[in-house]
Amino acid sequence: MALKTDVLVIGSGIAGLFTALKVSEYADVILITKKNQSDSNTNYAQGGIASVIDTKDSFEKHIQDTMVAGAGLCNEKTVSILVHEGPDRIYDLIELGTNFTRKDGKLDLAKEGGHSMPRIVHARDFTGQEIERALIESVNAKSNITVIENTLAIDLLTEHNANDLKEATLNNRNCWGAYVLICNQNKVEKITSKATVLATGGLGQVYLHTTNPAIATGDGFAMAYRSGALLGNMEFIQFHPTSLYTSEKERDFHAPAFLISEAVRGFGGILRTQDGKEFMEKYDPRKELAPRDIVARAIDSELKRRGDEFVYLDITHKKKDEILEHFPNIYNTCLKYEIDISKDFIPVVPAAHYACGGIAVDENARTSLKGLYACGEVTMTGVHGANRLASNSLLEAVVFGYHAAADIKEFINNYKSKIPGIPEWDDSGTLSADEKVLITHSTKEVKQIMWDYVGIVRSNLRLERAAIRIHNIFMETENLYKKTKIFEDILELRNLVACAHMIIKSAQLRKESRGLHYTLDYPTADYISEPKDTLIRNTHT
Ligand code: FAD
Ligand code: SIN
């Protein structure tokens, strides 16, 4: 049962849902998502969505804060688009039914690290869940958006899948949809489309400790890489400074670490070592509200210096009713671990949180493959540079999702070519996996290697070790993939390995420390050459 549509959207987080809604104003959409509709990083977002709303704030200040956090690598043009169009997209979200927290009738604005003004629009401390709810309801009300859950995109359809077109060069490649696995039937189908939007979110699951849910296995980055699309700045992985510390026994290896929002520090939270001492003033005059890379490295350094497994975040000096008013989700979750945050310090550790790099796109969300668009966390739009400013991610997803939808309209209106014949999925000669333990082990190995060698602090030796080990796992996984009838876990492992490879390769290409990439071998930024993006492309496809 091959499916056909105008526009295929892959992913049901803020980027996919918002883009699908905008596209549905002029075309039919199939939206696929690998679990249920609300299984996304978006659903976990706490702090909020940054935008210039207050009359005392200005576009210039938001631009400046974004560029400072980005450590010299932001693209001024896309940052300007992000900031100037931000307020309109926030009002779009409100129109679509999102209930943001208000004070005296006005949007309540919180402050977070790196922001010079309070500008974080939020729904208490479950902003993502509220946005996701409103968008899903709007999508489900549209008759020309078909949502297909439990359907995992395996690979994009390009010239190398098409009958007779294998010779097309990397520079003029097209995308015509995707092969997808219908998970609960273990069946592969193809969906062809004039335009395809990758909105598959992040890759936090590459790391042992992450705030990202199990879906964040970097599928979009990996699919784009395998198709020969251009990606950039994959070395810039943001580690959130404060995820709740729990012992290994308390969670399985896919389960996310619970986030203690940056807004808690914005609200006055103080970081302390286990002996109760404050330490942030040693690292940055902005203390707890320095950008995330600085706070995460400061915590990492204190943990290494003292041999501790966590530091504390202290909010006990604030009134309980205020804590409950602002952070009901964090309060209740911590209580499950017997931590009453109005009385007890919260044990926290950094965890992999966000991919600042990704599929290279222009300001209209076009990738280097014709007909392939991307938006949300899977992209490199240039707005985050070497480090993302807090709460700029949800904003990026809606601003560039909006641009994607506008560009796709032109693209499909002028669509003259014919989608070529693409064969059905052929799995003859493959067998069902009888040793799934191999996949579980390899997945754990990838996560451990990346955490130990490609984490907050890197070095040439660590990266080299990681590269060799990941290469071995790559060879084993490809071998297994070719022989096995596919299922979710093997596809996700294959994607994790591809992402690990890209992160390591990009980290090796960057011979300096900048933003989120810190290496002992080049401890400062290269002040002599112009800052450059690290661009990578798979030329073996
Ligand atoms: P996602 O929301 O992750 O959605 C991706 C979708 O793609 C999912 O539906 C997934 O199932 C689907 N998918 C993935 N692979 C496939 C595949 N192969 N086939 C089919 N479907 C697939 N940012 C902020 O700006 N403010 C915040 O306050 C904030 N807080 C955060 C808190 C946490 C705990 C986390 C983890 C992130 C937070 N972020 C925040 C970051 C932000 O939430 C994400 O960057 C953003 O939600 C990404 O949206 P997205 O639509 O690109 O991806
Ligand atoms: C948080 O609430 O600290 C997360 C904000 C973000 O990732 O932008």
pLDDT at 514: 96
Q: Distance between CA 120 and CA 265 in Å, rounded?
A: 13
Q: Which atom of ligand 2 is nearest to the CA of 112?
A: 3
Ligand 1 pocket, residue 30 CB under 6 Å: no
Ligand 1 pocket, residue 129 CB under 6 Å: no
Average pLDDT value for residue range 519-541: 93
Average pLDDT value for residue range 82-90: 98
Weakest-pLDDT range from 161-175, 394-408, 516-530 = 161-175
Ligand with smallest separation from the Cα of 136: 1
Asked if 5 contacts 147 with a C-beta cutoff of 8 angstroms, the reply is no
> pLDDT, tens digit, for every residue of 496-506?
999 999 999 99
> pLDDT, tens digit, for every residue of 446-502?
999 999 999 999 999 999 999 999 999 999 999 999 999 999 999 999 999 999 999
Kindly state whether residue 420 falls inside one of the protein's structural domains: no
pLDDT at 162: 77
Average pLDDT value for residue range 61-70: 97
Ligand with smallest separation from the Cα of 261: 2
Q: Based on the domain organization, do 122 and 155 belong to the same domain?
A: yes
Q: Based on the domain organization, do 113 and 28 belong to the same domain?
A: yes
The sign one gets for the Cα dihedral 449, 356, 203, 5 is negative
Kindly state whether residue 419 falls inside one of the protein's structural domains: no
Neighbours of 324 (CB within 10 A): 15
Compute the distance from residue 356 Cα to the ligand 2 centre, in Å: 13
Kindly state whether residue 418 falls inside one of the protein's structural domains: no
**Average model confidence (pLDDT) across the chain:** 95
> pLDDT, tens digit, for every residue of 11-50?
999 999 999 999 999 999 999 999 999 899 999 999 999 9
Asked if 488 contacts 183 with a C-beta cutoff of 8 angstroms, the reply is yes
Q: Based on the domain organization, do 366 and 505 belong to the same domain?
A: no
Ligand 1 pocket, residue 397 CB under 6 Å: yes
Q: Residue 276's pLDDT band (boundaries 50, 70, 90)?
A: very high
Ligand 1 pocket, residue 394 CB under 6 Å: yes
Has residue 251 got a pLDDT over 70? Answer: no
Rounded to whole angstroms, what are the CA distances from 82 to 65, 183, 360? Answer: 13, 36, 16
Residue 16: which CATH number?
3.50.50.60
Q: Based on the domain organization, do 175 and 133 belong to the same domain?
A: yes
Q: Which atom of ligand 2 is nearest to the CA of 238?
A: 7
Kindly state whether residue 212 falls inside one of the protein's structural domains: yes
Q: Distance between CA 448 and CA 36 in Å, rounded?
A: 28
The residue to mutate among 8, 41, 51, 126, having the most atoms of ligand 1 within 8 angstroms of its beta carbon, is 41
Kindly state whether residue 259 falls inside one of the protein's structural domains: yes
pLDDT at 166: 61
Q: Which atom of ligand 2 is nearest to the CA of 389?
A: 8
Ligand with smallest separation from the Cα of 259: 1
Kindly state whether residue 431 falls inside one of the protein's structural domains: no
> pLDDT, tens digit, for every residue of 183-226?
999 999 999 999 999 999 999 999 999 999 999 999 999 999 99
Burial (CB count within 10 angstroms: exposed 0-12, middle 13-18, buried 19+), residue 359: buried
Ligand 1 pocket, residue 113 CB under 6 Å: no
Ligand 1 pocket, residue 18 CB under 6 Å: no
Residue 328: which CATH number?
3.90.700.10
Q: Which atom of ligand 1 is nearest to the CA of 375?
A: 52
Q: Per the structure, how many domains does the chain have?
A: 3
Asked if 65 contacts 368 with a C-beta cutoff of 8 angstroms, the reply is no
Ligand with smallest separation from the Cα of 397: 1
Weakest-pLDDT range from 123-127, 247-251, 372-376, 457-461 = 247-251
Compute the distance from residue 241 Cα to the ligand 2 centre, in Å: 10
Kindly state whether residue 346 falls inside one of the protein's structural domains: yes
Burial (CB count within 10 angstroms: exposed 0-12, middle 13-18, buried 19+), residue 317: exposed
- Domain closes at, from 413, 445, 462: 413
Ligand 1 pocket, residue 45 CB under 6 Å: yes
Q: Based on the domain organization, do 19 and 52 belong to the same domain?
A: yes
Average pLDDT value for residue range 335-364: 97
Q: Based on the domain organization, do 393 and 517 belong to the same domain?
A: no
Weakest-pLDDT range from 49-53, 301-305, 344-348 = 301-305
> pLDDT, tens digit, for every residue of 109-137?
999 889 999 999 999 999 999 999 999 99
Compute the distance from residue 304 Cα to the ligand 1 centre, in Å: 31
| CB burial string 463-489: b at 16+ within 10 A, e below | bebbbebbeebbebbeebeeebebbbe
Kindly state whether residue 70 falls inside one of the protein's structural domains: yes
Compute the distance from residue 58 Cα to the ligand 1 centre, in Å: 28
Ligand 1 pocket, residue 380 CB under 6 Å: no
Has residue 248 got a pLDDT over 80? Answer: no
Q: Which atom of ligand 1 is nearest to the CA of 151?
A: 20
Positions annotated as catalytic residues are 292
Q: Based on the domain organization, do 203 and 111 belong to the same domain?
A: yes
DSSP, collapsed to helix, strand or coil, labels residue 99 as coil
Q: Based on the domain organization, do 320 and 336 belong to the same domain?
A: yes
pLDDT at 429: 81
Q: Based on the domain organization, do 252 and 218 belong to the same domain?
A: no
pLDDT at 252: 73
Q: Based on the domain organization, do 346 and 361 belong to the same domain?
A: no
Q: Identify the CA nearest to 299 among candidates 251, 377, 250, 241.
A: 241
Compute the distance from residue 422 Cα to the ligand 1 centre, in Å: 31
pLDDT at 436: 83
Q: Based on the domain organization, do 189 and 285 belong to the same domain?
A: no
> pLDDT, tens digit, for every residue of 289-323?
998 889 999 999 999 999 999 999 999 999 999 99
Q: Which atom of ligand 1 is nearest to the CA of 32?
A: 20
Q: Rounded to 5 degrees, what angle do the CA atoms 173, 487, 351 make?
A: 80
pLDDT at 1: 66
Has residue 167 got a pLDDT over 70? Answer: no
Ligand 1 pocket, residue 385 CB under 6 Å: no
Q: Which helix (H) or strand (E) holds 436?
A: none
Q: Give residues (CB < 6 A) around ligand 2.
A: 46-47, 259, 261-263, 390-391, 393
Has residue 434 got a pLDDT over 80? Answer: no
Average pLDDT value for residue range 381-386: 98
The residue to mutate among 9, 42, 189, 242, having the most atoms of ligand 1 within 8 angstroms of its beta carbon, is 42
Residue 514: which CATH number?
1.20.58.100
Compute the distance from residue 201 Cα to the ligand 1 centre, in Å: 5
- Domain closes at, from 398, 413, 428: 413
Residue nearest to atom 12 of ligand 1 (CA): 11
- Domain closes at, from 300, 329, 351: 351
Q: Which domain holds residue 467?
A: 436-531
pLDDT at 139: 98
Q: Based on the domain organization, do 461 and 322 belong to the same domain?
A: no
Q: Residue 170's pLDDT band (boundaries 50, 70, 90)?
A: confident
Compute the distance from residue 391 Cα to the ligand 2 centre, in Å: 6
